[in-house]
Structure 1
């Protein structure tokens, strides 16, 4: 793996004071999109690491967001795409994303300048797999979740105008804000705004480049909410409780 330099995000300077909450498995009332995409891709979770786990306080907030969603539209559910990631999985998936984008662009890996441009593009969406405890990737903390909206009748995800993990401007939350009224694009924007609204009402902050990524308690959340510090550091899988 080609290494990343120390991450410099707007939130990287936020101090972290972990509150000690454990990772807990998502309850059955939260829909999981399975098979899990990164497990299926061969990411190194290990035999006992469950990707569908988050800090206990984050799970409580997810349940509150889903209750709010169903109060607004009773036929919808939150659908969890991904939750906690060990550092090894983050490193593996970053390289998968880089390789996929190199292939999509038809770039020769020997072209260092173009490969560097790909890494920069991927870095807008994928946090560097930093082992530095002062700059953990958000997903490694158990604070962040990737999710979408789904129909309660069949559990099928709704169209949101772009796939989760797309390395593209269509991933930006307000990409379709200027869509013509009554167009398909306007519907996608409406759905993105609904998802953001229920998540923000439950205390989550949204990643500025990703319509699907929300967190509570990590450095990104501290930056976006003007909190004095993050409350979750990187979480080891050994903290998982039933």
Structure 2
């Protein structure tokens, strides 16, 4: 499998000619895939079996898709970077579950692909199910893993807005957005500037608050490809489940035309 490590970065013209054309006109759209947990069995709706994930990566490789860094797609959408290569796809994982290190990361290294993790730092090195700071540092130091914010403790903003008075809610939102960035920056020596909305919940006020807190892009769970026509503070992602195997995974990738 070692010979496959750089396969996503090498132009394979014969394969690309057979791959689907995405987007229309001059607009490029890219599917951003969203994962949460991995394991030997799918114990819940958010867990993808590790064997299924490995098969999905092999599908991408064998069908001429290129896994590209999320930051490159965001730069293009913001108008400050070039279009992504043909047949690009992005891989992200939310929350910071232990299986990201034990199951996802070995495959990331095997296939030599970039991924982005959206982390809520209140759980790191504290919750039994969560990653540790050392594990995050190891992944970041590989050069393949970008780490970004998922707020500080993954709140339901819709519930909190109903529960709190307006001033208290504003302070709560600011804490969730700012403390997450500050903690990740300090612990990992990075500069966080992207955000995944917990539960995919967002509104106009939250988008303004996120931009004011220094985020340049934010992500939802709307099942659509991301492109310049989207609001950069509410970019869509495809939630991948254990059912997205084989032909179902191929169908998911082919729904990204506009």
TM range (shorter): under 0.3
Whose helix fraction is larger, Structure 1's or Structure 2's?
Answer: 2
TM-score by length of 1: 0.26
TM-score by length of 2: 0.25
| Relative contact order, higher structure (CA 8 A, sep 6+) | 1
